[in-house]
């Protein structure tokens, strides 16, 4: 479904036709000599607008006529970045196969925007096409931390398989374990602990304290409460195995309660 721009970007005839996916009009304009790289008011090209809305056939026509695919607008957004943001997987595949820069630059990183918009398929395509799992944005954060923040376990696992550093930190110094625990993402917590991480580097104590605080002070009901309870048990059990007496005592009490319930 086509999406009309909310503001006047000064789109010319070719960009307007590309934005709405009008293959016939785009073909006609190109044959008449229209420049495939003509710029609008914010330095966006026709292929940018076609990519945003997933108009692959229009994109092919533009590419055949020499459309530049790595040109960013005045904020740095490239056709690949906007296609990733809008979950336009076929457009992403076409751009990548045509030589688009998979990593982007600055804060305009295709992989990051895909994670932020829950576009798992797009993120996986980017990773499988060579996206750097260790690339950092201007805030010095990596895709792995972003996947923990946005609770994307599929992407988190894929990043680990690609060699992402498990001990990466946010710009505020927080690790992926406390981040995932706070957000009640049981799957990511399980993935992290399954790798038997160093408890200091993974900030185990910080994660334990934060989850305990949430469970003790907040009234959370439903699925989130259940997940947090399981996370709390997992963290204390792991902490106990690593020599923490308080967690060991708590884990023993938990096992006793479980036996009584059975």
Q: What is the reported pTM?
A: 0.88
Q: Are 183 and 152 in contact (CB under 8 A)?
A: no
Tens digit of each residue's pLDDT (9 = 90 or more) over 225-253: 889 999 999 999 999 998 765 655 555 55
Picking from 30, 32, 106, 21, the residue whose alpha carbon sits closest to that of residue 66 is: 30
Q: Is the pLDDT of residue 5 over 90?
A: no
Rounded Cα distance, 23 and 74, in Å:
27
Which of the pair, 160 or 259, is modelled with greater confidence? 160
Q: What are phi and psi of 185, to 5 degrees?
A: -95, 90
Structure token digits, residue 256: 């006793």
Q: What are phi and psi of 142, to 5 degrees?
A: -100, 170
Judged by average pLDDT, the poorest of 14-28, 82-96, 206-220 is 206-220
Chain centre to alpha carbon of residue 14: 32
Domains of the chain are 9-132 (1.25.40.20), 136-261 (1.25.40.20)
**Exposure string for 101-137, b = 16+ CB within 10 A, e = fewer:** ebebeeebbbbbbbbbeebbebbbbbbebebbbeeeb
Rounded Cα distance, 201 and 211, in Å:
18
Q: Taking the CB of residue 89, how many other CB atoms lie within 10 A of it?
A: 17
Structure token digits, residue 128: 């499988």
DSSP string covering 105-156, please?
Answer: BTTB-HHHHHHHTT-HHHHHHHHHTT--TT-B-TTS-BHHHHHHHTT-HHHH
Tens digit of each residue's pLDDT (9 = 90 or more) over 175-228: 999 999 999 999 999 999 999 999 999 999 999 999 999 888 765 556 678 899
Q: Taking the CB of residue 224, how many other CB atoms lie within 10 A of it?
A: 13
Rounded Cα distance, 134 and 166, in Å:
10
């Amino acid at each position: 479904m086509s999406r009309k721009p909310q503001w006047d970007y000064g789109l010319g005839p070719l960009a307007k036709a590309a934005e709405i996916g009008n293959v016939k009009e785009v073909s006609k304009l190109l044959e008449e000599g229209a420049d495939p790289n003509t710029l609008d008011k914010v330095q966006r090209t026709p292929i940018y607008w076609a990519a945003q809305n997933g108009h692959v056939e229009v994109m092919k026509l533009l590419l055949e006529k020499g459309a530049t695919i790595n040109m960013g607008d005045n904020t740095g957004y490239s056709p690949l970045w906007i296609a990733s943001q809008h979950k336009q997987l076929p457009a992403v595949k076409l751009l990548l196969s045509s030589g688009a820069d998979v990593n982007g630059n600055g804060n305009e990183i295709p992989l990051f925007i895909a994670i932020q918009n829950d576009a798992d398929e797009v993120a996986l395509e980017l990773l499988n096409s060579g996206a750097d799992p260790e690339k950092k944005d201007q805030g010095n954060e990596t895709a792995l931390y972003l996947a923990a923040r946005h609770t994307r376990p599929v992407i988190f696992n894929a990043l680990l398989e690609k060699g992402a550093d498990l001990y990466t930190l946010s710009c505020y110094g927080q690790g992926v374990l406390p981040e995932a625990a706070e957000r009640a993402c049981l799957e990511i917590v399980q993935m992290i602990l399954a790798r038997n991480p160093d408890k200091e580097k993974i900030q185990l104590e910080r994660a334990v304290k934060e989850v305990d605080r949430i469970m003790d002070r907040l009234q959370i009901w439903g699925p989130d409460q259940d997940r947090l309870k399981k996370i709390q048990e997992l963290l204390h059990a792991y902490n106990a195995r690593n020599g923490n007496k308080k967690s060991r005592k708590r884990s023993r009490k938990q096992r006793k309660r479980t036996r009584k319930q059975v």
